Amino acid sequence: MTDAELTRALERGEIDNKDFHHASHLHVAWTYLSESASVQDAGWKMREDASALRDGSRESGKVS
């Protein structure tokens, strides 16, 4: 799976928390940085997606 594929799968909620490790976070961060016009834009994207993922994970019972 490429970094972009991992990022899209994460955005779609297809990656379980137990399968998403530190290295995966780094790959996703790299994707956001390479796809964004600035570091600030990448940071906003990461925060928005992290919030959505956290909310979705709580609703599905993946995290407490």
Per-residue pLDDT of 1-15, as tens digits, reads 999 999 999 888 888
Which tokens hold the place of 40? 């600030």
Pick from 16, 20, 22: nearest CA to 57:
16
Domain tally for the chain?
A: 1
Domain extent, residue 31, equals 3-60
Q: Give me the pLDDT at residue 60, please.
A: 53
Q: What is the pLDDT of residues 9-40, one digit of tens each?
A: 988 888 887 888 899 999 999 999 999 999 99
Question: What average pLDDT score do residues 45-53 get?
Answer: 81
Residue 6's pLDDT is: 93
Whether the predicted model's global pTM rises above the 0.75 cut: no
Contact yes or no for 23/14 (Cβ under 8 A): no
Separation CA 30–CA 39 (nearest Å): 10
Please compute, for residue 50, the number of CA atoms within 13 A of its CA located in the half-sphere on the CB side.
10
